[in-house]
Amino acid sequence: MFCTPACCPFGGGCGNGLEESRVVAIQQCQITGACSIIAVDAIEKGVAVGEYLGEPRLVDVSRHKRERNSGYAFVMRTAPLSGGKLRVCVDRERLGSAMRFVNHACEPSAHFQELANGNRHAVVVVTCWAVQAGEELTVSYGDDL
């Protein structure tokens, strides 16, 4: 559970609210030009470092019935009220939060965690283990890339 401005006396700004962490920053690689998320300070295991935001769209639950993932989309496990035939996809290709720059790794330092509060669902990036300052945060986008 997490707080939102609609249900929190502090406008979602309490300890249960979601906000971008100040312990990470976007860094651009000098060689490739690609962006990544780097730990500014040491981060403990289990810390939510930011909400994974993007353009929401509905996709078929079957991989075979939807377009191939361009590498920018996260398909949520939570099913909307569609009889289980659709899933919400968070597509970060054109817009999103800083977490849109978290790169894929087969042995990631963070994972996606789905959260719900009533009708609002969110995806946050949570560290799998302690991450040192200067280390890149990575997640697994799965094999649906």
4 occurs within a structural domain? no
67 occurs within a structural domain? yes
129: left (phi over 0), alpha (psi -120 to 50) or beta: beta
Helix (H, G, I), strand (E, B), or coil: what is residue 117? strand
DSSP-derived secondary structure for 65-87: GSPPP-SSEEE-SS--TTTTSEE
72 occurs within a structural domain? yes
9 occurs within a structural domain? no
Domain that holds residue 116: 24-139
Confidence of residue 132 (pLDDT cuts 50, 70, 90): very high
Contacts of 121 (CB under 8 A, 6+ apart): 76, 78, 88, 114, 115
Tell me how many domains the chain contains.
1
Q: How does pLDDT run across 16-62, given as a tens digit for each residue?
A: 565 666 789 989 877 678 889 999 999 999 988 888 877 777 777 77
Residue 105's CATH number: 2.170.270.10
Q: How does pLDDT run across 87-125, given as a tens digit for each residue?
A: 777 777 777 788 888 888 899 999 998 887 766 778 889
